[in-house]
Amino acid sequence: MSVAEVIRDQNDPADTVWVEHVSWIDRVPRAISMIALFIAFVALWQIATMLQLISPIILPTPIEVARDLYSVAANLLSGDYMLFALWTTMKEVFYGFIIATVIGFSLGVLVGETTFGERAVMPYLVAIDTMPKIAFAPLFVAWLGFDIHSKVALAAFIATFPIIVGTAAGLHAADENARMLFKTMGATRWQTLIKLKLPTGLPHFFTGLKIGSVGVMAGAITGEFLGGGKGFGELIRVAASMLDTPRVFSLIIYLSLVGLSLFAFVTWMQRRFVFWHKDRTSAADA
Amino acid sequence: MSAAAAAVLTSDPVRREPVYELSSVTKVYPRRNVHALDKVDLTLERGSFSAVIGSSGCGKSTLLKIMAGLHTPSAGRVVLAGKPVTGPRRDIGMMFQQATLFPWRTTIENIVLPIEIRDGKRAARAKHEDARRLLELVGLKGFEHVYPNELSGGMAQRAAICRMLITEPAVLLLDEPFSALDELSREFMNMELQRVCLARDATAFLVTHSIPEAVILSDIVYVMKPRPGRIVEAVTIDLPRPRTLDMMTTPRFGALVDHIRGRLDKEAFL
């Protein structure tokens, strides 16, 4: 990205200076480059549709999507059926996430803390995790019906595994020195878990939560696609079946706002509870 | 040789009552066919500073872990303050190469952690005044409510000293406590350690790779050799107290270092 260059004074060899060159594109402030990229993408999209390179049924113009975003917003703000659908999906996501967190954390502790869990339970969890979890959707519908319960179940089912893995990995994160220190202090197993392993593992736990928060959204929408109901996923399905692609796009954009706020909430929690840990790898720091 | 070392110790009239006594401590790992320790005899007297030095794999870490009650010996007697050591003990203070302060606790909360684990949160809070006094002793006054991220390596080790001392242990077991620090900080911290030990009349036992460090700090340096791990000589360090870094340039210091190095070199690679 940056090129160093030698500027040489021919008369004085001692006067050789290294100058670092940063390309102009790396100097643009982040906000400006993000906005510019967005505008370029939308412009390209608009041009492609205007030149009729793509059928308008397959890909609507950005202006159509923008217009639809507005009408969906109007519907949401007026408290019409879309708000109800959004509320339904948010409930599924919320309950699914809570259930996944509780089950994921408990199983994570079982697997991470006990030899029995590690030896006997973990292989089964890995086996289930490798299954295509979406394939369970018809089963959940059969067991729990077409109401939100089956969607909550699928959402929780998908989100549980990363939380299990995060929790279990976190419990193994405490280093040998710290464990030895706790041993020399005569700490009980419970004290070691509460005062050493859980706090040390919090960053891993939150990484699991973040991955889970993405999965829970996918689970809820998939559940609605496959099991009907009254949520946003159902609206998308109906719009798509009527080839109303602008509507599909705008609904997806509003859905992504829900997912993004859940992710942001988890990130905020992480910052609050893992205040000592500087997480630079997370996309949420954007 | 080890028996002779013990004899020298017990016949020393200046020394006071024994705090820590090991006799014929042997550790064998039969599965790996390793004879880690062979009939080690060791007596630490109250207020004394001893060091054990030896090459890697000579069994000094095993010895320290047995003394800390983290490992059990295959044979032998380990007695601290008149009671046999059968597991981790409240009257043992330990320090490691890493300070291992917990980043979610402030400095003072880290220091009272052993009390919190032993007697609960209320007892730990009652010890805050003691912790403050210890922080003052190691020169960390005003850092009570600072998180460990903001402490330098040397400061973190000072806090670790406080954490070790808060339980008022009968013996301090030091496992290369400053070897992760740079040379200058290390020498300085060694002097701080001596000052703290003299101030508290502490009984200390140091495991180290550094001969100068062992000599400048100790009253007695035990030289260990591997296969099987045993003490081959107890070198009495007759430099006056308190020691200073200037002493490291004296002929006597040099002679002691040379002597110990000679004892290590002769058989270390056999």
Tell whether the model's pLDDT for residue A280 goes beyond 70: no
In a domain, B23, yes or no: yes
Search chain B and give the residue with CA nearest A179.
B100
Mean pLDDT of chain B: 84
Tell whether the model's pLDDT for residue B9 goes beyond 80: no
Search chain B and give the residue with CA nearest A183.
B88
Range name among A212-221, A241-250, B13-22 with the lowest pLDDT average: B13-22
Answer for the pair A124, A131: CB distance below 8 angstroms, yes or no: no
Of B16, B20, B10, give the one whose Cα is nearest residue B204. B20
Q: What pLDDT, in 10s, does the model give residues A239-273?
A: 999 989 999 999 999 999 999 999 999 999 999 99
Task: Please tell me what DSSP assigns to residue B242.
Answer: S
Domains and CATH numbers, chain A: 2-54 (no CATH), 73-285 (1.10.3720.10)
Shortest Cα–Cα distance, B6 to chain A (Å): 27
CA distances from A229 to A32, A142, A191, A215 (A): 41, 14, 46, 19
Helix (H, G, I), strand (E, B) or coil at B50: strand
Q: Does B114 touch chain A (CB under 8 A)?
A: yes
Shortest Cα–Cα distance, B36 to chain A (Å): 20
> Could A178 and B96 be called an inter-chain contact, meaning their C-beta atoms sit closer than 8 Å?
no
Which residue would you say has higher pLDDT here, A164 or B54? Answer: A164
Average pLDDT over residues B174-180: 86
Collect all residues from A whose CB is shorter than 8 A from any CB in B: 175, 177-178, 180-187, 191, 195-196, 199-200, 275-277
Which residues on chain B are in Cβ contact (under 8 Å) with A183?
70, 88
Count of CB atoms situated within 10 Å of the CB of A65: 21
How far apart are alpha carbons B144 and B131 in whole angstroms?
A: 9
CB within 8 Å of chain A, chain B residues 140-169: 147, 149
A175, A183, A184: best to mutate for the B interface, most B CBs within 10 A: A184
Provide the pLDDT for residue B1.
43
Tell whether the model's pLDDT for residue B2 goes beyond 60: no
Mean pLDDT of chain A: 87
> Could B88 and A181 be called an inter-chain contact, meaning their C-beta atoms sit closer than 8 Å?
no
The tokens of B79 are what?
A: 């007695």
In a domain, B237, yes or no: yes
Average pLDDT over residues A141-163: 92
Provide the pLDDT for residue B182.
82
Tell whether the model's pLDDT for residue A6 goes beyond 60: no
The model scores a pTM over 0.90: no
Average pLDDT over residues B163-180: 87
In a domain, B194, yes or no: no
Strand partners, B221: B51, B235
Q: What pLDDT, in 10s, does the model give residues A15-74?
A: 667 778 888 888 888 899 999 999 999 999 889 888 888 887 788 888 889 999 999 999
Count of CB atoms situated within 10 Å of the CB of B75: 12
Range name among A182-191, A216-225, A265-274, B223-232 with the lowest pLDDT average: B223-232
Which residues on chain A are in Cβ contact (under 8 Å) with B89?
186
Confidence of residue A125 (pLDDT cuts 50, 70, 90): very high
Search chain A and give the residue with CA nearest B67.
A184
Q: What pLDDT, in 10s, does the model give residues B87-113?
A: 888 888 888 888 899 999 999 999 999
ipTM: 0.81
Q: Does B100 touch chain A (CB under 8 A)?
A: yes
Contacts of residue B255, defined as CB under 8 A and 6 or more positions apart, other chains included, come to none
Confidence of residue B266 (pLDDT cuts 50, 70, 90): low
Provide the pLDDT for residue A156.
95
Which H helix or E strand runs over B215?
Answer: helix B211-217
In a domain, B254, yes or no: yes
Of B173, B187, B196, B203, give the one whose Cα is nearest residue B242. B196
pLDDT over 90 for what percent of chain B?
13
In a domain, B242, yes or no: yes
In a domain, B117, yes or no: no
Helix (H, G, I), strand (E, B) or coil at B69: coil
Of B144, B125, B265, B89, give the one whose Cα is nearest residue A184. B89
DSSP string, A79-108: T-HHHHHHHHHHHHHHHHHHHHHHHHHHHH
In a domain, B28, yes or no: yes
pLDDT over 70 for what percent of chain A?
91
Q: What is the dihedral of CA A201, A204, A161, A255, to 10 degrees?
A: 140
Total number of domains constituting chain B: 1
Q: What pLDDT, in 10s, does the model give residues B38-97?
A: 888 888 888 889 999 987 777 888 888 888 888 888 888 888 888 888 888 888 888 888
A185, A188, A189, A277: best to mutate for the B interface, most B CBs within 10 A: A185
Which residues on chain B are in Cβ contact (under 8 Å) with A186?
87-90, 117-118
CATH code where residue B23 lies: 3.40.50
Buried b (16+ CB within 10 A) or exposed e, A70-100: eebeeebeeeeebeebbebbbebbbbbbebb
Tell whether the model's pLDDT for residue B205 goes beyond 80: yes
DSSP string, A120-179: IIHHHHHHHHHS-GGGGHHHHHHHH-SSHHHHHHHHHHHHHHHHHHHHHHHHT-S-HHHH
Search chain B and give the residue with CA nearest A184.
B88
Search chain A and give the residue with CA nearest B103.
A276
Provide the pLDDT for residue A192.
93
Helices A81-113 and A122-130 cross at an angle (nearest 10°) of 140
Which residue would you say has higher pLDDT here, A28 or A171? Answer: A171
Domain enclosing residue B232, as ranges = 2-49+56-91+220-268
Point out the residue among B70, B97, B116 whose CB comes nearest to the CB of A184: B70
Strand partners, A93: none
Answer for the pair A274, A202: CB distance below 8 angstroms, yes or no: yes
Shortest Cα–Cα distance, B149 to chain A (Å): 8
Provide the pLDDT for residue A123.
92
> Could A276 and B90 be called an inter-chain contact, meaning their C-beta atoms sit closer than 8 Å?
no
The tokens of B107 are what?
A: 């400095």
In a domain, B71, yes or no: yes
Average pLDDT over residues A101-126: 93
Q: Does B68 touch chain A (CB under 8 A)?
A: yes
Average pLDDT over residues A171-186: 90
Confidence of residue A5 (pLDDT cuts 50, 70, 90): low
Provide the number of CB pairs (under 8 Å) joining chain A to chain B.
48
